[in-house]
Structure 1
Amino acid sequence: MPAHDLAVVGGDVVLDGGSVERVNIGISDGRIVTLTDGPLDARETLDATRLTVLPGAVDQHFHVFWNYEWETYENATRAAAKGGVTTVVDMPLDNPPTLTAEALRGKLAAIAGACHVDYASFGGYLADDPSEMERMAEAGASCFKLFTGGVAPPGMYPGVDDGQLLDALRRAAAIGLPVTVHAENAYIVDFETNRLMGDGRTDMAAWDDARPWYSELAAAHTVALLAEVTGARVILAHVSSPQTMEALAGFRERGVDVWTETGHHYVCSTKEQALEDPRLKWNPPTRAAAEVERMWDLIAAGDVNSVGSDHAPLPKAEGADVWSQSPGPGNNVQTILTIFATQARQRGLSLGRIVDLVSTRPAKLFGLYPRKGAIRLGSDADLAIVDTNAARTLDPEELEYIEGQAKWSPFEGMDVTVDPMHTVLRGKVICSRGEILGSPGDGTHLVGARIN
Structure 2
Amino acid sequence: MPGVVIRNGTIVTALDQYVADVYCEDGKITAIGPSLSVPQGSEVIDASGQYVFPGGIDAHTHMELPFMGTVSADDFFTGTAAGVAGGTTTILDFIIPNRNQSLLAARDFWMNNAKKAVADYGFHMAVTWYGEQVEKEMRQVHAEDGISSFKVFMAYTGAIGVDDDEMIGVIDTAASLGALVTAHCEHGLAVQALQRKLVAAGKTTPHYHAESRPSWVEGEATNRAIMLAKCAGQPIYIVHLTCRESMEAVARARAEGQLVYVETCPQYLLLDDRVYDKPDFEGAAYVMSPPIRPIGHQDVLWSALGCGLIHTVATDHCPFRQHDQKRMGLHDFTKIPNGAAGIENRMPLMYTYGVAAGRLTLQQFVDTCCTRPAKIFGLYPRKGAILVGSDADLFVYDPTPRSTISAATHRHNCDRNIFEGFAIQGAVTHTIVAGRLQFKHGDLRVERGAGRYLHRT
Task: Indicate whether the TM-score tops 0.5.
Answer: yes
CA pair 266-171 structure 1, distance change in 2 beyond 3 A: same
List alignment gaps of at least 5 residues for structure 2: none
> Which of 338, 346, 362 pairs up with 2:348?
338
Percent identical: 26
The answer on whether the counterparts of 1:227 and 1:258 sit within 8 Å (CA) in structure 2 is: no
Q: Cα offset for 1:357?
A: 1.0
What stretches of structure 1 move > 6 A for 4+ residues in a row? 94-98
Residue 93 (structure 2) aligns with:
90
The answer on whether the counterparts of 2:96 and 2:125 sit within 8 Å (CA) in structure 1 is: no
Residue 388 (structure 1) aligns with:
399
Q: What SS does structure 1 have at the residue aligned with 2:138?
A: helix
Which residues in structure 2 correspond to 1:249-264 (within 5 Å)? 249-264=251-266
The answer on whether the counterparts of 1:92 and 1:98 sit within 8 Å (CA) in structure 2 is: no
Q: What SS does structure 1 have at the residue aligned with 2:449?
A: coil
Query: Aligned residue pairs: how many?
Result: 437
Q: Cα offset for 1:106?
A: 4.4
Deviation string 1:200-221 (CA, Å, 9 cap, x unpaired) is: 2124332222111111111111
Q: Does 1:174 align with 2:184?
A: no
Residue 26 (structure 2) aligns with:
29
Q: Does 1:354 align with 2:387?
A: no
Please give the alpha-carbon distance, in whole angstroms, between the structure 2 residues aligned to 1:214 and 1:231: 25
Residue 5 (structure 1) aligns with:
3
Q: Cα offset for 1:117?
A: 0.6
What one-letter code is carried by the residue in structure 2 that aligns with 1:7?
A: V
Deviation string 1:2-60 (CA, Å, 9 cap, x unpaired) is: 9x72211111110342x221111122322223221233324222211222111111000
Residue 424 (structure 1) aligns with:
432
CA pair 369-231 structure 1, distance change in 2 beyond 3 A: farther
Q: What SS does structure 1 have at the residue aligned with 2:401?
A: coil
CA pair 96-159 structure 1, distance change in 2 beyond 3 A: closer
> Which of 106, 113, 135 pairs up with 2:140?
135
> Which of 247, 255, 258 pairs up with 1:245?
247
The answer on whether the counterparts of 1:105 and 1:139 sit within 8 Å (CA) in structure 2 is: no
What one-letter code is carried by the residue in structure 1 that aligns with 2:21?
A: N
The answer on whether the counterparts of 2:315 and 2:343 sit within 8 Å (CA) in structure 1 is: yes
The answer on whether the counterparts of 2:94 and 2:126 sit within 8 Å (CA) in structure 1 is: no
Please give the alpha-carbon distance, in whole angstroms, between the structure 2 residues aligned to 1:102 and 1:232: 28
TM-score w.r.t. the length of structure 1 is 0.91
Q: What SS does structure 1 have at the residue aligned with 2:240?
A: coil
Q: Cα offset for 1:149?
A: 4.1
CA pair 95-416 structure 1, distance change in 2 beyond 3 A: farther
The answer on whether the counterparts of 1:65 and 1:92 sit within 8 Å (CA) in structure 2 is: no
What one-letter code is carried by the residue in structure 2 that aligns with 1:296?
A: W
What one-letter code is carried by the residue in structure 2 that aligns with 1:134?
A: R
Please give the alpha-carbon distance, in whole angstroms, between the structure 2 residues aligned to 1:344 and 1:263: 12
What one-letter code is carried by the residue in structure 2 that aligns with 1:313?
A: P
Please give the alpha-carbon distance, in whole angstroms, between the structure 1 residues aligned to 2:429 and 2:382: 23
Please give the alpha-carbon distance, in whole angstroms, between the structure 1 residues aligned to 2:423 and 2:72: 31
Q: What SS does structure 1 have at the residue aligned with 2:321?
A: coil
CA pair 325-372 structure 1, distance change in 2 beyond 3 A: same
The answer on whether the counterparts of 2:13 and 2:367 sit within 8 Å (CA) in structure 1 is: no
Q: Does 1:314 align with 2:323?
A: no
Residue 57 (structure 1) aligns with:
56
List alignment gaps of at least 5 residues for structure 1: none
Once structures 1 and 2 are overlaid, which stretch shifts more, 131-140 or 103-112?
103-112
Q: Cα offset for 1:246?
A: 2.8
Once structures 1 and 2 are overlaid, which stretch shifts more, 289-298 or 161-170?
289-298
